[in-house]
Structure formats: structure tokens, C-alpha cells
A and B are shown apart, each in its own frame.
Chain A
């Protein structure tokens, strides 16, 4: 197999955990087949981040911080990616299954006529091609898939956990990608960005999350979740069902199509345990379920469970935790 092009977005001038997973996976594949790993770093700080990306598995780094990327993420992103693809001519393009990769992955695959497998939870080289494993049908089945084309595109779910420790002895080239972006009149333009406001820690950074589902029964019930979250110094999240009911804003949604979180403690309250929810909290160190149905699916995923009505369980648990601390 030839080279691998890894597409990653820089945040605050550094790779995200999802980006480091991509590099780790690419390095693993390259180790077997001898191909070169090129990282395409999008966003501010590419020159400074380059050596860090090499220490994590890249052999070469191309970076681009053209301001058009912020104003027209999709269309400018496609121009940058297409240019990098032309230069590197990779056999495999690896992107994160995040807002950037889920946007660009299908488009570049369609443009190149390359086979695309999205939302991989793992990927490995078998007999010269990369086989991907991913849950489908809400986790009721696991599929193994592969591209049948010479060139393949894969998006990897955040949390796939392939990142490597930094190896500062690794060397490689870092250069800016030369690309002229001429925005067309019909390009969508970002005119405003709102970073969500929240009291308490942000979900992605919270060490404890109390998450509510349809079983909470209404917006009022969420106040009990807030009290427990406060006692834990944590944040409140939700399932899609709670968002759909209009009890909490969409920014709180955790899951495959919401946020992926990794707290030390995740307490799921009145959530049944659909896999589309569980992939969002699978990286929690300790998962607790509070559900009145002893047969609820969520007890398959949780480490600890309490069977009962949350309206009684949460106040009691909040008190017990306050007493311990």
C-alpha cells in the first residue's frame, strides 16, 4: 500500500485527541506496509504543531491556516484537501468522525470515486487492505467493511483510542501547503459563531456528568440532576429523547450524534441505554445507571446500577455523596 493522508483539525495550535488517534492508527498501518504518513493540519498554528504531529506518528506535515477555512469550512476545506490529495496521492485518507471529517470525508470519497467507510471504531490492515469494524443498526449488529477500490477513505470515531505516546526522536518534514482559495459567490459563509454558554464545567471537560433521559419525565425533573451534578462538581447532559421532548437544549445531547464525553463518572438517569447514546459516554471511567426497570439495556453497559425511581434515588444519592465528601 502507498501513503496515508491524515486530515486533522488544530485547536489552540495543537492536535485534538481525535487527531492523535488518527495519527496512531496511520502509524500502525504504515509500520506494516511501509507507506508514508502525511498529516494535513487545518487551522492556526500548523508550523508550531508540526514537530508534535511527527512525534505522534506523522512522517510529513502539511499545514494550512487560510482564513477562508473559518469562513467557509466545507468548501474551502474541500479545496485544501483536494490539493493535498493531489500532492500526496495517498492510497488511504483518514479523517475523524467529527464535524470536519463527517463533512469532508463523503465529499472527497465521491470526488475521487474512492470507497468510503465511516464511523469506524477500529481499523486494521488485512491482506493489503484496511478492514474496518463499526456498529450499525444502533449497535444491534457489528459490521466489518472494506473498500473494494485501490483508494479508500475512512472516518474514525473519536475515542477509538489508537493514539501513540510522543516519540521526540522521530523526524520529518513540515511545510505549508500552497493553495489558492478563491471563494465562489455561492459558497455558504459562516457569519456568526456562538460558543454555548453553560453554568458549571463544559460537558467535554467535566469530570462528572449526570445525564437525563426520557425517564426524567419533564424539564422540572432536571433540577434533581442539577443538584446531584453540583454536589459532584460536574455538569448535566441528556439523551436525544430528552432533547426531542424539548426539556433541555440540543447542546446537552450526548451520543453518536451529540457529544462524545470522557468523564471519570457518568451517571445515566432514566436512560434506556440505546447504543447511539452509549457511544457518547463509552469513555467514561465509571458508568452508573439509575433506572426503574431492572431489565433496562443500560445495565449491560454500566459498571454500577441502582434500580428505582430517580425522583427518590437522586435526592438520596445527593445527600449520601455530600455526607462522604
Chain B
């Protein structure tokens, strides 16, 4: 069984707001010195793939990314976590809309066939679009199961858990499909072993040129009109008191005055 995981390297979403600045020319964040990390739900997707490989012996995992050379970091991380292969589609992905990205990723996926599952994060941690996974499914004319958090049955027929607003569904697959992965307590990405990190540095990365796998990218269908810092909010009213008992009583009183209790 061949599983391809779509990984994206993004601006670290945990950097403080103070460290975040906008390049108005490009309508994008300034990222020259900002740390980049593997997008968080992609980490969950990778963990799900690793768990699946632990549950059945025949699983082979390929990590696929679309981006400039810097995106290789995501692939190195995947290799350090013992993914079997790593492929990058070389493109300035920041200039592409979700559909263009999905078309490029779908073109790369066709070259990587045969595979059984494609895993994506439910949403990238930068622009938070939540589009590429489902669009890849559409481009490949494959079914898509969104918000998957774990594999319920690793043997055929494969069944996965889909998180819903009011609980979850167990969904049985009927063949190759794209899953978009959400987090739960079982799919937090593990840490890589030191020896695997060393070995990963020596493994080859395959690079595909965007222009060679897809002749016509078409026009972007979406335009960013502006990107701005949010307005400064008002700070909360902080309850005062000499002791914790006093603070707590003051808070309870204010809640009563506001009609909240």
C-alpha cells in the first residue's frame, strides 16, 4: 500500500504578533528571518500515515511538497521520521492560488502512481485556506473524506474516523481516496530519532520542475486586495484584590453585575 502525504512548510504560526510584519508590495508577510515549520495539520497527516504503517507491514510513504528549495526542510523532516521517499515540485508557490497548487500537486501525483491514499492537512497554518486537499481530489476525480483523525480499521476495507460537529462518523473506503486530516489526541506528530535525522540528511530528494509536469497553469482565480494588521483591541478589565479570595469574589460580583451568572 502506497500512501502519499502532502506537506507544506509555512511561517511558524506560533511566532508572537509583535514579530509579524507585512510586505505591502507582495501582500504577504515578511518572512526573510522568520522561522519556518511543517504546517501543523500536515504533521497530523504524517503521523496518521506512520501509524498506518505500524498497523500493516505493506505501507510505503512518500512525502510530496510544492514550493521553493526552502520547502526541502519539510521533506527532510519527513525522511527523518522514516518516510520512504520525498518529492518536491519546484515552484514559487506563494504566487499561486489553491486551484493552481492543486493542479500541480495532482500532476505530480499522477507521476507517482500507483498509490492508494493521498493525505493532506485539513488547512495550512499560513493562509488557512482549507482548499488544496479537496481540490486535489477533484482534479484526480477521486473521492475525498475531510476531517479524518485516525484509522479505525487498517485491514481492507480500510475505515477511517471523520470528525464532525457533533461527534464522529466511521467511513469505509472503497478504493483510492484523498483524506484531509484534522487533529485529535492520537495523531500528534512524534519526534524524530537522532540517528534517523542523520540518515535523512543523506537520502536523495526528487525534484520535479513545475513547467515539465504541467504545461499550462492558467490564471489565478483569486486576488488578495489587501493584507493588514488587525485593529488593536481593548484590554480586559482586570479584577484586583490583595488575596486570591478577594480577586475571585470581585470577579464573581462583576459577573453578577453583568448578568453573566
Contact = CB atoms under 8 A, between A and B. Distances in A.
A116 interface: yes
A99 interface: yes
Contact of A141 (B163, B220, B227): B227
Given A109-B135, A113-B221, A137-B126, A243 B185 contact: yes
A156 interface: no
Nearest to A111: B138
Interface string B249-261: 1011111101011
A146 interface: yes
A193 B163 CA distance: 10
Contacts of A113: 99, 221
A244 interface: yes
Interface stretch (A19-27, A59-67, A161-169, A303-311): A303-311
Contacts of A298: 236
A316 B252 CA distance: 10
Interface of B (DSSP majority class): mixed
A69 interface: no
Interface string B115-147: 000000011011111111111011100111111
Interface residues of A, number: 95
Point out which of A116, A187, A307 has the most chain B C-beta atoms below 10 A from its C-beta: A116
A301 B220 contact: no
B223 A250 contact: no
Contact of B227 (A143, A186, A208): A143
A88 interface: no
A191 B159 contact: yes
B169 A312 contact: no
Given A193-B169, A246-B185, A141 B102 contact: no
B235 A300 contact: yes
A217 interface: no
Interface stretch (A28-36, A41-49, A174-182, A256-264): A256-264
Interface in B7-39: 11, 13, 17, 20, 22, 27, 29
Interface in A174-212: 184-196, 202, 204, 208
19 contacts: A105-B134, A106-B98, A116-B221, A119-B129, A137-B29, A137-B126, A141-B227, A188-B173, A190-B162, A193-B170, A204-B166, A243-B183, A250-B163, A288-B251, A303-B237, A304-B254, A305-B236, A320-B251, A321-B252
